[in-house]
Amino acid sequence: MHNFELVKPTSIEDAVAALKEEEAQPYSGGQTLLPTMKARLAAPTKLVSLLGIDELRYVRIEGDQVHVGGATTHATVARETKEAYPGLASLAARIGDPAVRNRGTIGGSLANNDPSACYPAAALGSGATIKTDRREIAADDFFEGMFMTALEEGEIVTGVTFPIPQAARYEKFIQPASRFPLTAVFVAKYDAGVRVAVTGASELGVFRWTEAEEALSKTFSADAVKDLKVDDADMISDLHGSGAYRAHLTKVMTARAVTALS
Protein backbone atom coordinates (compact mmCIF):
# COMPACT_ATOMS: atom_id res chain seq x y z
CA MET A 1 0.00 0.00 0.00
CA HIS A 2 1.25 3.49 -0.79
CA ASN A 3 1.71 5.60 2.29
CA PHE A 4 -0.63 8.46 3.17
CA GLU A 5 -1.37 10.85 5.94
CA LEU A 6 -4.20 9.83 8.29
CA VAL A 7 -6.08 12.68 9.89
CA LYS A 8 -8.76 12.23 12.51
CA PRO A 9 -11.04 15.26 12.80
CA THR A 10 -13.61 15.37 15.59
CA SER A 11 -16.21 17.58 13.90
CA ILE A 12 -17.99 17.57 10.54
CA GLU A 13 -16.67 21.08 9.91
CA ASP A 14 -13.04 20.01 10.38
CA ALA A 15 -13.56 16.94 8.20
CA VAL A 16 -14.98 19.00 5.35
CA ALA A 17 -12.10 21.47 5.65
CA ALA A 18 -9.55 18.62 5.55
CA LEU A 19 -11.25 17.19 2.46
CA LYS A 20 -10.70 20.39 0.51
CA GLU A 21 -7.11 19.34 -0.09
CA GLU A 22 -6.44 17.66 -3.38
CA GLU A 23 -6.19 13.84 -3.22
CA ALA A 24 -7.82 13.78 0.21
CA GLN A 25 -10.30 10.97 0.61
CA PRO A 26 -13.01 10.44 3.24
CA TYR A 27 -12.49 7.23 5.18
CA SER A 28 -15.10 5.61 7.37
CA GLY A 29 -15.09 1.94 8.40
CA GLY A 30 -12.63 1.17 5.62
CA GLN A 31 -14.02 -2.29 4.92
CA THR A 32 -13.99 -1.55 1.20
CA LEU A 33 -11.50 1.29 0.88
CA LEU A 34 -8.70 -0.31 2.89
CA PRO A 35 -8.60 -3.54 0.80
CA THR A 36 -8.87 -1.36 -2.32
CA MET A 37 -5.78 0.56 -1.20
CA LYS A 38 -3.93 -2.69 -0.48
CA ALA A 39 -4.61 -3.69 -4.07
CA ARG A 40 -3.35 -0.24 -5.13
CA LEU A 41 -6.60 0.45 -6.91
CA ALA A 42 -6.79 3.60 -4.81
CA ALA A 43 -3.85 5.62 -3.54
CA PRO A 44 -5.04 8.74 -1.74
CA THR A 45 -2.31 10.88 -0.20
CA LYS A 46 -4.53 11.83 2.71
CA LEU A 47 -7.26 9.89 4.47
CA VAL A 48 -9.78 11.81 6.52
CA SER A 49 -11.18 9.39 9.10
CA LEU A 50 -14.81 10.05 9.98
CA LEU A 51 -15.13 7.51 12.80
CA GLY A 52 -13.92 9.92 15.46
CA ILE A 53 -16.77 12.36 14.80
CA ASP A 54 -19.34 11.77 17.54
CA GLU A 55 -22.06 13.76 15.77
CA LEU A 56 -21.98 11.21 12.92
CA ARG A 57 -22.75 8.24 15.15
CA TYR A 58 -26.35 7.83 16.28
CA VAL A 59 -29.58 5.99 15.75
CA ARG A 60 -32.68 8.01 16.64
CA ILE A 61 -36.24 6.83 16.35
CA GLU A 62 -38.60 9.78 16.01
CA GLY A 63 -42.24 9.22 15.17
CA ASP A 64 -42.44 7.31 11.90
CA GLN A 65 -38.82 7.92 10.97
CA VAL A 66 -35.46 6.37 11.78
CA HIS A 67 -32.46 8.70 11.65
CA VAL A 68 -29.03 7.09 11.34
CA GLY A 69 -25.73 8.97 11.53
CA GLY A 70 -23.39 8.54 8.57
CA ALA A 71 -20.58 6.89 10.55
CA THR A 72 -22.87 4.44 12.37
CA THR A 73 -21.73 0.83 12.02
CA HIS A 74 -23.89 -1.94 10.60
CA ALA A 75 -23.76 -3.69 13.99
CA THR A 76 -25.21 -0.63 15.72
CA VAL A 77 -27.99 -0.25 13.16
CA ALA A 78 -28.80 -3.96 13.44
CA ARG A 79 -29.06 -3.67 17.23
CA GLU A 80 -30.83 -0.35 17.56
CA THR A 81 -33.46 -0.47 14.82
CA LYS A 82 -34.67 -3.99 15.62
CA GLU A 83 -37.95 -2.83 17.11
CA ALA A 84 -38.65 0.35 15.14
CA TYR A 85 -37.69 -0.92 11.68
CA PRO A 86 -37.03 -4.69 11.74
CA GLY A 87 -36.65 -4.89 7.94
CA LEU A 88 -33.72 -2.49 8.09
CA ALA A 89 -32.21 -4.16 11.16
CA SER A 90 -32.34 -7.54 9.47
CA LEU A 91 -30.58 -6.20 6.37
CA ALA A 92 -27.85 -4.59 8.48
CA ALA A 93 -27.42 -7.79 10.51
CA ARG A 94 -26.63 -9.75 7.34
CA ILE A 95 -24.03 -7.49 5.72
CA GLY A 96 -20.64 -9.22 5.45
CA ASP A 97 -19.72 -10.94 8.70
CA PRO A 98 -19.63 -9.84 12.39
CA ALA A 99 -16.16 -8.24 12.14
CA VAL A 100 -17.13 -6.28 9.02
CA ARG A 101 -20.34 -5.13 10.70
CA ASN A 102 -18.35 -3.74 13.63
CA ARG A 103 -16.37 -1.46 11.29
CA GLY A 104 -18.38 -0.80 8.14
CA THR A 105 -20.72 2.19 8.17
CA ILE A 106 -23.93 3.16 6.46
CA GLY A 107 -22.48 6.39 5.06
CA GLY A 108 -19.51 4.56 3.60
CA SER A 109 -21.69 1.95 1.98
CA LEU A 110 -24.04 4.51 0.42
CA ALA A 111 -21.24 6.80 -0.77
CA ASN A 112 -19.40 3.87 -2.35
CA ASN A 113 -22.57 2.57 -4.05
CA ASP A 114 -21.12 -0.82 -4.85
CA PRO A 115 -23.55 -2.42 -7.33
CA SER A 116 -23.80 -5.41 -4.98
CA ALA A 117 -23.98 -3.59 -1.65
CA CYS A 118 -26.97 -4.13 0.65
CA TYR A 119 -27.61 -0.65 2.07
CA PRO A 120 -28.42 1.07 -1.26
CA ALA A 121 -31.38 -1.32 -1.57
CA ALA A 122 -32.68 -0.29 1.87
CA ALA A 123 -32.23 3.42 1.15
CA LEU A 124 -33.87 3.29 -2.27
CA GLY A 125 -36.52 0.78 -1.17
CA SER A 126 -37.47 2.99 1.78
CA GLY A 127 -37.43 6.25 -0.16
CA ALA A 128 -34.86 7.46 2.37
CA THR A 129 -33.31 10.92 2.48
CA ILE A 130 -29.52 11.15 2.47
CA LYS A 131 -28.14 14.07 4.42
CA THR A 132 -24.74 15.49 3.64
CA ASP A 133 -22.62 18.28 5.08
CA ARG A 134 -24.31 20.70 2.66
CA ARG A 135 -27.76 19.42 1.59
CA GLU A 136 -30.38 16.68 1.59
CA ILE A 137 -30.72 14.29 -1.33
CA ALA A 138 -33.65 11.93 -1.97
CA ALA A 139 -32.52 8.34 -2.47
CA ASP A 140 -34.23 8.44 -5.87
CA ASP A 141 -31.74 11.14 -6.93
CA PHE A 142 -28.71 9.85 -5.03
CA PHE A 143 -27.70 6.66 -6.85
CA GLU A 144 -26.36 7.41 -10.31
CA GLY A 145 -25.01 4.06 -11.44
CA MET A 146 -22.29 1.61 -10.47
CA PHE A 147 -20.01 3.31 -7.87
CA MET A 148 -21.56 6.68 -8.85
CA THR A 149 -23.61 8.95 -6.62
CA ALA A 150 -24.83 12.54 -6.56
CA LEU A 151 -22.11 13.36 -4.00
CA GLU A 152 -19.70 16.09 -5.00
CA GLU A 153 -15.98 16.05 -4.41
CA GLY A 154 -15.33 16.24 -0.66
CA GLU A 155 -19.02 15.94 0.27
CA ILE A 156 -19.74 13.49 3.08
CA VAL A 157 -22.87 11.59 4.09
CA THR A 158 -23.74 12.84 7.57
CA GLY A 159 -26.97 10.92 8.04
CA VAL A 160 -29.83 8.97 6.52
CA THR A 161 -33.52 9.29 7.34
CA PHE A 162 -35.72 6.27 6.71
CA PRO A 163 -39.52 6.56 6.75
CA ILE A 164 -40.71 3.49 8.65
CA PRO A 165 -42.93 1.28 6.48
CA GLN A 166 -45.83 -0.91 7.60
CA ALA A 167 -43.56 -3.83 6.82
CA ALA A 168 -40.38 -4.55 4.89
CA ARG A 169 -38.27 -7.52 3.97
CA TYR A 170 -34.85 -8.00 2.41
CA GLU A 171 -34.32 -11.22 0.50
CA LYS A 172 -30.72 -11.87 -0.42
CA PHE A 173 -29.32 -14.57 -2.67
CA ILE A 174 -25.64 -14.55 -1.82
CA GLN A 175 -22.63 -15.20 -3.96
CA PRO A 176 -21.07 -17.62 -1.48
CA ALA A 177 -17.42 -16.65 -1.98
CA SER A 178 -17.81 -12.89 -1.53
CA ARG A 179 -21.01 -13.06 0.56
CA PHE A 180 -22.24 -10.02 -1.36
CA PRO A 181 -25.68 -10.39 -2.92
CA LEU A 182 -25.67 -12.06 -6.32
CA THR A 183 -29.09 -10.45 -6.41
CA ALA A 184 -31.11 -9.11 -3.50
CA VAL A 185 -34.45 -7.35 -3.26
CA PHE A 186 -35.79 -4.98 -0.63
CA VAL A 187 -39.59 -4.77 -0.54
CA ALA A 188 -41.24 -2.11 1.64
CA LYS A 189 -44.95 -1.58 2.08
CA TYR A 190 -46.02 2.01 2.77
CA ASP A 191 -49.43 3.63 3.03
CA ALA A 192 -48.65 5.37 -0.27
CA GLY A 193 -47.71 2.14 -2.03
CA VAL A 194 -45.07 -0.57 -2.29
CA ARG A 195 -41.43 0.08 -3.14
CA VAL A 196 -39.14 -2.58 -4.58
CA ALA A 197 -35.38 -1.98 -4.83
CA VAL A 198 -32.96 -4.43 -6.42
CA THR A 199 -29.22 -4.68 -5.80
CA GLY A 200 -26.49 -6.95 -7.15
CA ALA A 201 -28.24 -7.42 -10.46
CA SER A 202 -27.76 -4.41 -12.72
CA GLU A 203 -24.79 -2.82 -14.46
CA LEU A 204 -26.46 0.46 -13.52
CA GLY A 205 -26.34 -0.33 -9.81
CA VAL A 206 -29.30 -0.40 -7.46
CA PHE A 207 -32.64 0.23 -9.16
CA ARG A 208 -36.39 0.26 -8.50
CA TRP A 209 -38.45 -2.41 -10.17
CA THR A 210 -41.39 -0.13 -10.91
CA GLU A 211 -43.59 -2.73 -12.68
CA ALA A 212 -43.52 -4.85 -9.54
CA GLU A 213 -44.22 -1.79 -7.37
CA GLU A 214 -47.34 -1.00 -9.38
CA ALA A 215 -48.57 -4.59 -9.35
CA LEU A 216 -47.88 -5.04 -5.62
CA SER A 217 -49.47 -1.73 -4.72
CA LYS A 218 -52.69 -3.06 -6.26
CA THR A 219 -52.45 -6.62 -4.95
CA PHE A 220 -49.84 -7.49 -2.36
CA SER A 221 -49.21 -11.13 -3.18
CA ALA A 222 -46.45 -13.15 -4.81
CA ASP A 223 -48.87 -13.98 -7.63
CA ALA A 224 -48.94 -10.30 -8.59
CA VAL A 225 -45.36 -10.47 -9.87
CA LYS A 226 -45.58 -13.98 -11.33
CA ASP A 227 -46.27 -12.90 -14.91
CA LEU A 228 -44.07 -9.82 -14.94
CA LYS A 229 -40.96 -9.85 -17.07
CA VAL A 230 -37.66 -8.42 -15.82
CA ASP A 231 -35.64 -6.93 -18.65
CA ASP A 232 -32.15 -8.47 -18.62
CA ALA A 233 -30.56 -5.98 -21.03
CA ASP A 234 -28.64 -4.11 -18.31
CA MET A 235 -28.10 -7.06 -15.99
CA ILE A 236 -24.62 -8.01 -14.82
CA SER A 237 -23.33 -11.10 -16.57
CA ASP A 238 -20.26 -12.76 -15.06
CA LEU A 239 -18.88 -16.17 -14.11
CA HIS A 240 -21.29 -16.32 -11.16
CA GLY A 241 -24.44 -15.88 -13.21
CA SER A 242 -25.76 -14.61 -16.52
CA GLY A 243 -27.89 -11.51 -16.93
CA ALA A 244 -30.91 -13.72 -17.57
CA TYR A 245 -30.22 -15.59 -14.33
CA ARG A 246 -30.07 -12.35 -12.34
CA ALA A 247 -33.27 -11.15 -13.98
CA HIS A 248 -34.91 -14.39 -12.91
CA LEU A 249 -33.52 -14.05 -9.39
CA THR A 250 -34.97 -10.55 -9.17
CA LYS A 251 -38.43 -11.97 -9.61
CA VAL A 252 -37.85 -14.94 -7.30
CA MET A 253 -36.40 -12.79 -4.49
CA THR A 254 -39.25 -10.28 -4.84
CA ALA A 255 -41.81 -13.06 -4.60
CA ARG A 256 -40.07 -14.52 -1.54
CA ALA A 257 -40.04 -11.17 0.20
CA VAL A 258 -43.73 -10.62 -0.52
CA THR A 259 -44.62 -14.13 0.63
CA ALA A 260 -42.73 -13.61 3.87
CA LEU A 261 -44.66 -10.37 4.46
CA SER A 262 -48.10 -11.69 3.47
Partner 1 sequence: MNDIKMKVNGREVTGSVEGRTLLVEFLRNDLRLTGTHVGCDTSQCGACLVHVDGEVVKACSMFAAEADGREVTTIEGMANADGSLNTIQQAFQDHHGLQCGFCTPGMVMAATTLLRDNPKPSETDIREYLDGNICRCTGYHNIVKAIMAASGQEVDRAALAAE
Whether 105 and 203 have beta carbons less than 8 Å apart is answered as no
Cβ nearer to partner 1, comparing 4 with 245: 4
Considering only CA atoms, which of 55, 59, 93, 97 is closest in space to residue 74?
A: 93
> According to CB under 8 A, which one of 25, 96, 150, 234 is a site residue for partner 1?
96
Nearest-approach distance from CB 54 to partner 1, in angstroms: 14
**Binding piece for partner 1, criterion CB under 8 A, among 57-65, 95-103, 123-131, 156-164:** 95-103
Beta bridge partners of 235: 202
Alpha-carbon span 83 to 111, nearest angstrom? 26
CB of 148 to partner 1, least distance (A): 24
Site for partner 1 in 117-176 (CB under 8 A): none
Least distance to partner 1, CB of residue 19, Å: 16
Q: How far is the CB of 49 from partner 1 (least distance, A)?
A: 7
Q: What are residue 251's DSSP bridge partners?
A: none
Please list every residue from 18 through 77 that binds partner 1, using CB under 8 A.
30-31, 34-35, 37-38, 47, 49, 51, 75
**3-state SS, residue 94:** coil
Q: Which residues contact 70 (CB under 8 A, 6 or more apart)?
A: 28, 50, 56, 105, 106, 107, 131, 156, 157, 158, 159, 160
Binders of partner 1: how many residues, by CB under 8 A? 25
| Binding status of residue 100 toward partner 1 by CB under 8 A | yes
Contact between 78 and partner 1 by CB under 8 A: the answer reads no
Does 90 bind partner 1 (CB under 8 A)? Our answer is: no
Q: Is residue 5 at the binding interface for partner 1, with CB under 8 A as the rule?
A: yes
For 114-165, the DSSP string reads: -TT-SHHHHHHHHT-EEEESS-EEEHHHHB-STT-BSPPTT--EEEEEEEPP
- β-pair partners for 197: 186, 208
Residue 202, Cβ density class (10 Å: 0-12 exposed, 13-18 middle, ≥19 buried): buried
By C-beta, is 63 or 176 nearer to partner 1? 176
| Site string (173-202) toward partner 1, x via CB under 8 A | ------x-----------------------
Q: Give the range of 55-63, 98-106, 108-116, 154-162 binding partner 1 by CB under 8 A.
A: 98-106
Q: How far is the CB of 47 from partner 1 (least distance, A)?
A: 7
Span interacting with partner 1, options 1-9, 121-129, 161-169, 236-244, rule CB under 8 A: 1-9
Strand, helix or coil for residue 4: coil
The whole-angstrom separation of Cα 44 and Cα 25 is 6
Half-sphere exposure of 149 (CA within 13 A, CB side): 27
> Under rule CB under 8 A, which residues in 217-236 are in contact with partner 1?
none
Q: Which residues bind partner 1 (CB under 8 A)?
A: 1-6, 8, 30-31, 34-35, 37-38, 47, 49, 51, 75, 96-100, 102-103, 179
